[in-house]
């Protein structure tokens, strides 16, 4: 089992606060499955306006969290320095089933439907306490250097 902490994540993907939407990678089986965690504390700036008195995590940020976790399907454990430079191209059949509220642990699972060197089609789901809150498919292309 491969796990990554926040410092290792920051060495691997380009996003930074406030757009870094993954805190831990719990398990990577390269090319087969990745599980990541986003701790929703309630102090995130988006809760100020979404929605006052009834805070929920915006769906677009749930998609962003699923996308960031998905790129770790390309992680190569024996490679010293790597950047996973992917652009999200399509969010397909995304469903939001339950709201994500403060003090939640968002668990994201990504599995490939198709992987190529420069693109990916991934099945994703996000859950809180074992309940699926969002699911769908994401399509990525690798960023050209």
In the set 10, 26, 33, 50, the catalytic residue is 50
Does 121 participate in catalysis according to the annotation?
A: no
Residue-wise DSSP of 82-133: ----EEEEEEEEEEE-S---TTEEEEEEEEEEEEETTEEEEEEEEEETTEEE
Nearest of 115, 84, 89 to residue 9 by alpha carbon? 84
Q: Give all strands of the β-sheet with 119-128 in edge-to-edge order.
A: 2-4, 24-29, 33-40, 104-116, 119-128, 131-142, 86-96
138 and 90 Cβ atoms separated by less than 8 Å: yes
Which residues carry out catalysis? Answer: 50
């Amino acid at each position: 089992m491969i796990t990554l902490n926040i410092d290792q994540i920051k060495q691997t993907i380009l996003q930074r606060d406030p757009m870094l939407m993954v805190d831990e990678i719990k398990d990577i089986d390269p090319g087969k499955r990745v599980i990541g965690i986003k701790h929703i504390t309630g102090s995130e700036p988006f809760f100020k306006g979404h929605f006052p008195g009834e805070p929920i995590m915006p769906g677009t940020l749930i998609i962003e969290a699923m996308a960031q976790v998905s790129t770790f399907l390309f992680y190569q454990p024996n490679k010293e320095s790597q950047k996973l430079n992917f652009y999200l191209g399509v969010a397909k059949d995304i469903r939001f089933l339950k709201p994500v509220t403060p003090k939640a642990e968002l668990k994201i699972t990504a599995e490939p439907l198709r992987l190529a060197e420069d693109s990916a089609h991934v099945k994703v789901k996000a859950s809180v306490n074992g309940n699926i809150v969002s699911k769908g498919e994401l399509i990525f292309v690798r960023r050209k250097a």
